Amino acid sequence: MAEHRLIAAYRNDLLVQLPVHLADEVSGGLADAHENYVSQGLTPDQAACAAIEEFGNARRVADAFRRACPAWRAARALIVTGPVVGGLWAAALIADRAWDWPIPIAVRLLVGAILASSVLLLVASALARRYQAVRRAGLAGCIGLAALDASMITTAILLAPSLRWLLVLAASASAVRLTFVASGMRRLVSQPRS
């Protein structure tokens, strides 16, 4: 049976907002529902309307997929916990007089730029309306934070005169966040891209 025009239009709406494999999955289910309604005696137009009503509008379906995306969840979690981890690092670095550590100014500026970029990418991921934008920005933001956490832990271990409790606490918080980010990135990378 050829795809009904209403179902084809629904699929096209989904393709604007979702990757092809997700849009195909939803439209395949919609086509199955359409066939089921036709077999129950509805006209093709009535069956298409009933199937679309059963699934909900394409925007709501795309929003549900966006909210289920691991990048969206990771971005929101990192935005909420970021100030806590950042505050721990700020307190630890101030207490340890990190401005006296032998770190070139260019490296300090690079760390600040990576932090700012990562935060902006995570905010973009949390606010994006399209699934692919959520995924790409979230993945990039997670990679940036993972690199920062790893470098902060390594720098503290190598350069701190002594590992005081604040540094240990900040490094532990970063290690927990690094584990969370690695888990989220593994789920993101394993998803089909198209």
Residue 170 pLDDT: 94
pLDDT for 161: 79
Report the pLDDT value the prediction gives residue 193, as an integer from 0 to 100: 59
Token pair of 29, please? 């289910």
Q: What is the 3-state secondary structure (H, E, C) of 31-61?
A: HHHHHHHHHCCCCHHHHHHHHHHHHCCHHHH
Nearest partner of 181 among 69, 77, 65, judged by Cα: 77
Q: Quick one: residue 162, left, alpha or beta (phi over 0 = left, psi -120 to 50 = alpha)?
A: beta
Other C-beta atoms closer than 10 Å to the C-beta of 38 total 18
Q: For 60-73, what is each residue's pLDDT tens digit?
A: 999 899 888 888 98
Residue 53 has pLDDT above 60, yes or no: yes
pTM, to two decimals: 0.78
